[in-house]
Structure 1
Amino acid sequence: MGRSVSGQENVLREASRAAPRNLLFTRDFGLVWLSQLISQVGDGISNLALLWFVYSITGSPVKTTIIGLLHTIPPIVLGPLIGVYVDRLPKKFFLVGSNTLRALLIGIIPCAIPTDLFTVDMLYGLVLLDAVAMAVFSPALTSSIPLIVPRSQFTAANALIQSTTSLGIIFGPAVSGVGISMFGSQEVLCLNALTYFLAAVCLGFIRLRSLHASSATEQAPGSAWQDFVDGVMFLVKKQRVILLLIMAAACYGFGASALTTLFPVFAKKLLGLGPVEVGFLWSVLGIGLLLMSIVLLRFTEWNLSERTRIIAAAGVTNAVAISALVWTKDLYFVSFLMVVIGAGMGVFTPIAWGVVQELTPAPMVGRILGLYSTGAMVAAISGISTFGWVTEHFGETTGVSSIGATFLLTATFGALLSRSIRSR
């Protein structure tokens, strides 16, 4: 990267002197966080604009949901392969390149096509390519954290990155709605290209610590297939704790994805709420997620066993809160429950990523995260399908209660993880 070893060491030295809450004021992590905030708001803007465009053109809920489906295909099909190449190539290339590509796909290209020629099929193609760029970016970002943040602050860094997702949920759709009403959905997509370009510029200035030249991966790269096999063998033979974590992530994704997808149905049928109230509760869920991201800063230096025990506690809390939705129609109490649920859902990812980052050698983090993401995404789609069927055939009460039960199972996995780590 054209930098001296001492200069590379300054990347971590600067961050190590900062308290967890001050990570945002270090140069490199601050730029990462700012870029994520910009792009997550951009995601909130583009997601609503994409859905609105398709529905306004087709009037079909099924064709509208294809947007969500297209976003899930690349992580499932390409996740493990993407992880291999994230480990083999410079991570900064993926970080900057994916945001630049997204600006072109979801911004510049829609601008270049006349409105009367911009069809839904064209948009589907652009969304699929955009999903590939997103699938590349996520493991590249997460595997870059150990290169700019000291080990004791991994969970804090992951929590702060998660906070940008919450802020994107809170502000992105609101900005998009105003923009659609003033200019139209295609125009909003064009203007939103600026957010991804700005995110790419921020990431262009970060300094990533180089991996040690003595690592086995750098000495003998081998084939991509061999790298993939090495990653699988690492999980099966050397770090079965991470394999157990992936099972916990699959269980969590199985329930959480179903809850967020089917919540409008539950709110309408069980609580008798309209779209305004549902939108309000969705924002409240994002607030709970944001609050937990802030709370986790206090626990970043706990050992792995203690942090995974938080996953168990959050799973039990979420199970109780979700089940309580069946027994109340009071909007204020439901709002409180949604804050609790959002906070509980905000526990898993920062801690889980921290476990992977701490227990995996730096040259292998990308492919392990690729396997992790693939398992979680497959479980998420399965959960949506399963609980959609359960709700349709057995009613909303059964659907909500069953989702609550999956969080109890997640809590069990969290307890097993804590015990496995403690006994290592």
Structure 2
Amino acid sequence: MADESQSTPESNVTGWRLLATRDFGCLWAGQVISQIGDGLNKVALLWFVYEMTGSALKMTAIGLLQTIPPLVFGPLIGVYLDYLPKKTVMIVVDLLRTLMVLLIPLFYALDLLTLERLYVLVFLVSIVSTIFGPALASAVPLIVQRSQLTTANAFLQSTTNIGVLLGPAMSGLGIALIGAQNVLYVDAATFLLSALFLFPIRVRETKSVKELDVLGTPVMQDMMVGFRFVFLQHRVVFALMITAVLYNLAISAFVFLLPVVAKELLQVGPMELGWLWSALGIGMLAASIWLARMPQGTFQERIGKIGRSLTIGGLAVCALGLIQTPVLFSTFLLIIIIGGSTSLFYPVVWAMLQEVTPEHLLGRVFTTFSVGGMASAMVGMAGFGWAADTLGPAVSLIGIGLLLLLTAMVTMQVSRRGLVVTPAVA
């Protein structure tokens, strides 16, 4: 990490003024556009595949193809990411996504699109997309100062929230007006715009590109260096990894069960389900904006903030499962609370990871966290989905709430043990 004494005028900016700086402002604007594009893609692509095949199974295969690359290639990607310029990587990824998404409607228009070709394109888009998230997280501490990390991550999470709120709604409207295949043209354009916003950004690259043997021992050794740092060498990072696994087990299952909550507990249809999704997004966006305005604080203050927010979220999820005759309005309010309280987790955790991780390990650490988070999310969705089918959605919700409370207890215990964030040395 850079010495704070070497800060630029932009690095001394905090809060909302951070968005007005050229580097972070361009990064944020590009991510808003990109996240809206992701929202467009999720709805339009699934609808397009279902219209094309008429098969729910073939449609769900899209989700599987989007899940495999992060789990399989994540650790390897992290090694290479640590030796490549982050800005260049993000621009190349966005340009590749532009091309690959654009090929889907082009092939369709030329009557060249087969299901096999579509699956290949989706798989390739997922591979390059796996690179972007860790590259972005690794670039943030190279753009902003340590004291700005929580604010920067909160603002970046707000782009995801904006995408959740606007993307699917815009996609649905676009499908109705111009068709799913034409919405994919718009999706491709959002990735191109995201790449254009990245060009003016100045990223303080300090690591020279290193020759790596893809199949040789050095790559495996470098991969193990990252694993050792996360699991053996740094108690703070390992503690954050444990809490991240528990958090993803719970929160991914809750999001997955929202349609079940709507249909089985509330006995409402897809329109009301859309309102519940919006409620989750509203809570998340409000929390991100609030967090961006708050001072970063000490390690104990930050970890305590996570513990308190997850306690509120866990109690709210339990309350949702315990309500005997749920009303749509009260459920809407509870989901706003759940979205707001649980969404503080990653901006704070990401900031602490960026603070303690040496620059040459950022890619490996963030891909390790991403792989662990996705694996635990899949376990959570499968486990609590099974519980909802066999024991009922209310029992499953209570289980999720208790798991969030357990995560809060673990974070509080970490805080009491007096672990200290020691800023990394590049």
Which TM-score band (shorter chain)?
over 0.9
Is residue 412 of structure 1 aligned with residue 404 of structure 2? no
Decide which moves more: 219-228 or 151-160.
219-228
Match of 1:231 among 226, 230, 250: 226
Superposition deviation, residue 10 in structure 1: 11
Contact 1:304 1:421 in 2 (8 A): no
Deviations 1:368-408 (A, max 9, x none): 11111111110001111111111111111111111111111
Superposition deviation, residue 61 in structure 1: 3.0
Structure with the larger helix share: 1
Is residue 71 of structure 1 aligned with residue 78 of structure 2? no
Corresponding residue for residue 121 of structure 2: 126
Contact 1:12 1:148 in 2 (8 A): no
Rounded Cα–Cα distance in structure 1 between residues aligned with 2:79 and 2:182: 37
Corresponding residue for residue 353 of structure 1: 350
Q: How does 1:251-290 map to 2 (within 5 A)?
A: 251-290=246-285
Deviations 1:158-199 (A, max 9, x none): 000000011111111121112111221111112321110010
Rounded Cα–Cα distance in structure 1 between residues aligned with 2:46 and 2:231: 41
Decide which moves more: 50-59 or 360-369.
50-59
Decide which moves more: 398-407 or 8-17.
8-17
Structure 1 residues 152 and 129: alpha-carbon distance in aligned structure 2, compared to 1, 3 A threshold: same
Corresponding residue for residue 177 of structure 1: 172
Contact 2:231 2:237 in 1 (8 A): no
Q: TM-score, normalised by structure 2?
A: 0.92
Deviations 1:123-153 (A, max 9, x none): 2221111111111000100000011100001
Rounded Cα–Cα distance in structure 2 between residues aligned with 1:339 and 1:417: 28
Contact 1:154 1:300 in 2 (8 A): no
Contact 1:12 1:147 in 2 (8 A): no
Match of 1:96 among 82, 91, 94: 91
Deviations 1:32-53 (A, max 9, x none): 1011001000111111001111
Contact 2:15 2:294 in 1 (8 A): no
Match of 1:393 among 390, 393, 399: 390
Q: How does 1:169-318 map to 2 (within 5 A)?
A: 169-211=164-206, 223-318=218-313
Given residue 267 of structure 2, which amino acid in structure 1 is its aligned partner?
G
Given residue 66 of structure 1, which amino acid in structure 2 is its aligned partner?
A
Corresponding residue for residue 377 of structure 2: 380
Rounded Cα–Cα distance in structure 1 between residues aligned with 2:360 and 2:327: 51
Q: How many residues align?
A: 415
Deviations 1:3-49 (A, max 9, x none): xxxxx999951332212221100110011101100100011111100
Rounded Cα–Cα distance in structure 2 between residues aligned with 1:43 and 1:405: 31
Secondary structure in structure 2 of the residue aligned to 1:223: helix
Superposition deviation, residue 69 in structure 1: 2.1
Contact 2:38 2:167 in 1 (8 A): yes
Superposition deviation, residue 90 in structure 1: 1.1
Given residue 336 of structure 2, which amino acid in structure 1 is its aligned partner?
V
Superposition deviation, residue 423 in structure 1: 5.9
Superposition deviation, residue 329 in structure 1: 1.7
Corresponding residue for residue 107 of structure 1: 102
Deviations 1:206-258 (A, max 9, x none): 11113278xxx979999222221211222234212211211111111111111
Q: Which runs of 5+ in 1 are unaligned?
A: 1-7
Corresponding residue for residue 134 of structure 2: 139
Superposition deviation, residue 63 in structure 1: 2.6
Contact 1:11 1:148 in 2 (8 A): no
Decide which moves more: 279-288 or 414-423.
414-423
Given residue 111 of structure 1, which amino acid in structure 2 is its aligned partner?
L
Rounded Cα–Cα distance in structure 1 between residues aligned with 2:53 and 2:210: 51
Superposition deviation, residue 71 in structure 1: 1.7
Is residue 341 of structure 1 aligned with residue 338 of structure 2? yes
Aligned CA-pair RMSD: 2.4
Q: TM-score, normalised by structure 1?
A: 0.92
Structure 1 residues 70 and 287: alpha-carbon distance in aligned structure 2, compared to 1, 3 A threshold: same
Is residue 60 of structure 1 aligned with residue 55 of structure 2? yes
Superposition deviation, residue 86 in structure 1: 0.8
Decide which moves more: 143-152 or 261-270.
261-270
Rounded Cα–Cα distance in structure 2 between residues aligned with 1:69 and 1:293: 30
Rounded Cα–Cα distance in structure 2 between residues aligned with 1:198 and 1:219: 31
Superposition deviation, residue 346 in structure 1: 1.1
Decide which moves more: 248-257 or 224-233.
224-233
Secondary structure in structure 2 of the residue aligned to 1:88: coil
Given residue 228 of structure 2, which amino acid in structure 1 is its aligned partner?
M
Superposition deviation, residue 92 in structure 1: 1.5
Superposition deviation, residue 285 in structure 1: 0.6
Q: Which runs of 5+ in 2 are unaligned?
A: 422-426
Is residue 368 of structure 1 aligned with residue 365 of structure 2? yes
Structure 1 residues 402 and 62: alpha-carbon distance in aligned structure 2, compared to 1, 3 A threshold: farther
Corresponding residue for residue 81 of structure 2: 86
Contact 1:241 1:420 in 2 (8 A): no
Rounded Cα–Cα distance in structure 2 between residues aligned with 1:127 and 1:190: 15
Contact 2:288 2:344 in 1 (8 A): yes
